[in-house]
Structure 1
């Protein structure tokens, strides 16, 4: 793995999120209205590392509640949840706790990349976003959405926006009064106005999405 030189990056904290919210409210009255009516969004943070990245893979194209149930069963079975311990599980064990064949393949690939030294998540978190994205996307089953969520909730990068996230698309459509749900390309274009605080805007939109869940059991990246 070839890594670029470490870059200085202001990672998100409660204080920097507060600054970002002020900027966003000034440039987009719709986002400002969310803050006025719902208050500041949660931090939504997870610890960086193998368990979190594996959990995000589980969350691909399924409900977060369903993925969390599988992840909790895994954590009860594998203590501690390390790449080495994960690789001791066979297909039958993983299927029993809810892993699909595809997710088994992806998560094994991640664990093997770490144990072989191909991927060093601790070193990677010190790198710039482009390097992180390039290195993670070399692994089968990890695409832009997975990297975006990892950058946003685990590494706390301030200007990441998961354009492929369904919750963000639904929230943006409702907030902006759009007749159709924006495509990822359209959502990315809308989010351009929110630079360099797009990760804060994403939190605001998730906050808004949850408030409009109409009593449904909906969660985001806790």
Structure 2
């Protein structure tokens, strides 16, 4: 039986399989920003449970047998937002393609070098000083370019709250070093959009494989089919999928 014909080991009530999009081949997940990882969660002052969280959890537990068992396991834990758009994106760039531990170490050195964490301060530091904090030369240039976009007003920060998801992604991916995965993390962790499905996220794909396919490789099409049962709360379901692999919450 080929991969496209497989059904989840513990089936969710999903509709007919949708055609896979993007460059993923059958049985192989393509990760444009491969191995991009979030940083460890820190204490977030006045962290607020997203307004939709309780409703989403209740709805997901009614409709998905896996999440019905999983969600209560993690108690009151929930997604939190750091709040500052520039910092969220900068941290996301730092975390690309390196381990969580290494990313945190680099970020701490950046905080020492630019304690105000403002675009202007990062621009004054320049790529050379940023690279000296442990960033690759390319990442240092990415963060400097990100800071320049914010300082020059080339991104519509004040409008993002009312723009739809794809419009925000389209704007963010015009910035060097910001791909779709990073933009989706921004939608989830900063704007707290409830229905984001980051199919380029290796953790999500691995969690779907583990929880729905007994650990067998999963295509994007199969992951999308499972996630169809999570709408309109795919952000929440994804967050719990991550928790099933690593109980420690993360943020950006």
The bucket for the TM-score relative to the shorter chain is: 0.7 to 0.9
- Relative to structure 1, the CA distance from residue 185 to residue 80 in structure 2 (aligned partners, 3 Å threshold; closer, same or farther) is farther
The corresponding residue for 1:61 is 97
Q: Deviations over 1:11-38 (max 9, x none)?
A: x944521110111111110111102434
Q: Which moved more, 1:181-190 or 1:164-173?
A: 181-190
Going from structure 1 to structure 2, the CA distance change for 1:117 and 1:176 (only over 3 Å counts) comes to same
* TM-aligned CA distance change 1:57 to 1:79, over 3 Å: same
Residue 47 (structure 1) aligns with = 83
Query: Number of matched residues?
Result: 205
Give, in angstroms, the shift of residue 68 of structure 1: 2.1
1:144 aligns with 2:174: no
Partner of 2:133: 97
Which of 191, 197, 202 is matched with 2:227 structurally?
191
- Conserved in 2, the CA contact under 8 Å of 1:41 and 1:207? no
Is 1:220 the counterpart of 2:250? The answer is: yes
Counterpart in the other structure of 2:123: 87
Q: What are structure 2's unaligned runs of at least 5 residues?
A: 1-47
Structure 2 residue aligned with 1:130, among 166, 171, 184?
Answer: 166
Structure 2 Cα separation of the partners of residues 84 and 38 of structure 1: 39
Give the secondary structure class of the aligned counterpart of 1:72: helix
Q: Counterpart in 2 of 1:30?
A: 66
TM-score by length of 2: 0.74
Superposition CA RMSD, Å: 2.1
Which of 192, 208, 212 is 1:176 aligned to? Answer: 212
Structure 1 residue 108: Cα displacement: 1.5
Cross-structure match for 2:3: none
2:108 corresponds to 1:72: yes
CA contact (8 A) 1:206 1:220 kept: no
Contact 1:48 1:155 in 2 (8 A): no
Distance 2:102 2:182 in 1: 17
Higher relative contact order (CA 8 A, sep 6+): 2
Asked if the contact 1:64/1:219 (under 8 Å) is kept, the reply is no
CA contact (8 A) 2:120 2:151 kept: yes
Q: Does 1:107 align with 2:143?
A: yes
Describe the shift of the 1:156–1:20 C-alpha distance in structure 2 as closer, same or farther (beyond 3 A).
Answer: same
Higher helix share: 1
The alignment's TM-score, normalised by the length of structure 1, stands at: 0.83
1:120 aligns with 156
Tell me the SS of whatever aligns to 1:170: helix
Deviations 1:51-78 (A, max 9, x none): 1111111112222332222112111211
SS in 2 for 1:107: helix
When residues 132 and 199 of structure 1 are mapped into structure 2, their CA distance, relative to the original with a 3 A threshold, is same
Match of 2:21 in 1: none
